[in-house]
Amino acid sequence: DAEITQSPRHKITETGRQVTLACHQTWNHNNMFWYRQDLGHGLRLIHYSYGVQDTNKGEVSDGYSVSRSNTEDLPLTLESAASSQTSVYFCASSESTGLSGYTFGSGTRLTVV
Amino acid sequence: QKEVEQDPGPLSVPEGAIVSLNCTYSNSAFQYFMWYRQYSRKGPELLMYTYSSGNKEDGRFTAQVDKSSKYISLFIRDSQPSDSATYLCAMSAQGGSEKLVFGKGTKLTVNP
């Protein structure tokens, strides 16, 4: 069965370290998205991609970067982790056409200490 | 004004009750409307999808869109404890596969 997986599920890191969160999907979806979810803010878009070599900034992109070298993966990198980046991160993917909505991963809970 | 407003609740109802969840929005270009359900410590999952105005029914769930009022609703009939979750509305101007704008979510608890 097709799926979207995120790793790790939980991570604790120190302020200033570079951290990469992985997202891998086997749906063959062109569109991929990264959101963070915080109490009181809901889901906020960090970065998104509509295909290989395409990346775009979302509403809260400062301090984050992504790259898309193939269809399956969209890793999210925190260049220098800050305590304000403690959050739950969700990756999602969708078809480029049609009324399919998003398929979400199970999330990565990141704590920056 | 936020693009999408959703009452965060929490909402607590007895089993068997009819539940009404709502979102308002400000962007008149939105045409695609979705409801996602999120269980604790899980990713959101697509529950209902509607295009433009009107109603859509799926089992105990009914989604309504009133574009003239910029108001969408999700009704749950005969609510069950398994419906306890956070419900997020989401919408887009260009299609459900494009960049979505989410409400903050309403936390629902159905008590047995």
Q: Name which of A10, A43, A54 to mutate to probe chain B: the one with the most chain B Cβ atoms within 10 A of its Cβ.
A: A43
Residues of B in contact with A107 (CB under 8 A): 41-43
pLDDT at B51: 85
pLDDT at B97: 60
Query: Is pLDDT at B13 greater than 70 in this prediction?
Result: yes
* Closest CA of chain B from A39, distance in Å: 9
- Residues of chain B whose C-beta is under 8 A from some C-beta in A? 6, 8, 32, 34, 36, 41-46, 49, 51, 88, 90, 95-100, 102-105
Say whether B87 sits in a helix, a strand or coil. Answer: strand
pLDDT at A90: 98
Q: What are A77-80's contacts with CB under 8 Å, separation 24+?
A: A77/A18, A77/A19, A77/A20, A77/A21, A78/A18, A78/A19, A78/A20, A78/A21, A78/A110, A79/A18, A80/A16, A80/A17, A80/A18
CB contact under 8 A, A42 and B96: no
pLDDT at A98: 59
pLDDT-based confidence at residue A1 (cuts at 50, 70, 90): confident
Query: Is pLDDT at B107 greater than 70 in this prediction?
Result: yes
CB contact under 8 A, A100 and B104: no
User: What pLDDT digit, counting tens, does each position of A29-76 carry?
Assistant: 999 999 999 988 889 999 999 999 999 999 999 999 999 999 999 999
Residue A93 CB neighbour total at 10 angstroms? 27
Say whether A67 sits in a helix, a strand or coil. Answer: coil
User: What pLDDT digit, counting tens, does each position of A94-108 carry?
Assistant: 987 756 789 999 999
Query: Is pLDDT at A91 greater than 80 in this prediction?
Result: yes
- For residue A6, give both structure tokens: 């995120």
User: What pLDDT digit, counting tens, does each position of B35-89 carry?
Assistant: 999 999 999 999 999 888 889 999 999 999 999 999 999 999 999 999 999 999 9
Residue of A42, A58, A97 lying closest to B97 (CB–CB): A97
- For residue B83, give both structure tokens: 């419906």
Of residues A108, A57, A56, the one with CA closest to residue A85: A108
- For residue A4, give both structure tokens: 């979207």
Residue of B32, B34, B103 lying closest to A42 (CB–CB): B103
Instruction: Find, in chain B, the residue whose alpha carbon is nearest to that of A106.
Output: B43
Distance CA B75, CA A29 (A): 31
Residue pair A91/A23 in contact (Cβ under 8 Å)? The answer is yes
Distance CA B39, CA A104 (A): 12
Distance CA B32, CA B91 (A): 5
